[in-house]
Amino acid sequence: MLIAPSLYGADDGMPDWLGAYAEAGGHRVLGPGADYGGRGAGGAVR
């Protein structure tokens, strides 16, 4: 299980990595603000 409380300081590759992690069967918990990281702030994390 991976916990991503906030992605404000994440690089642009982090949302892709989190998406690949989930697609590979990983479980993730996204906290408040986790969908604001990468891709111009406000882009949803897959």
pLDDT of residue 16: 85
Give the Cα separation of 23 and 10 in Å (integer). Answer: 20
Radius of gyration of the chain (CA): 10
| Contact (CB, 8 A) for 45 and 16 | no
* pLDDT computed for residue 5 by the predictor: 75
Separation between Cα atoms, residue 34 and residue 46, nearest integer Å: 11
pLDDT at 9: 72
Q: Which residues of the chain have pLDDT under 50?
A: 38, 40-46
Quote the pLDDT of residue 23. 92
Question: How far is Cα 33 from Cα 21, in angstroms, rounded to an integer?
Answer: 19
Find the helix or strand (DSSP H, E) in which 14 lies: helix 14-23
pLDDT for position 43: 46
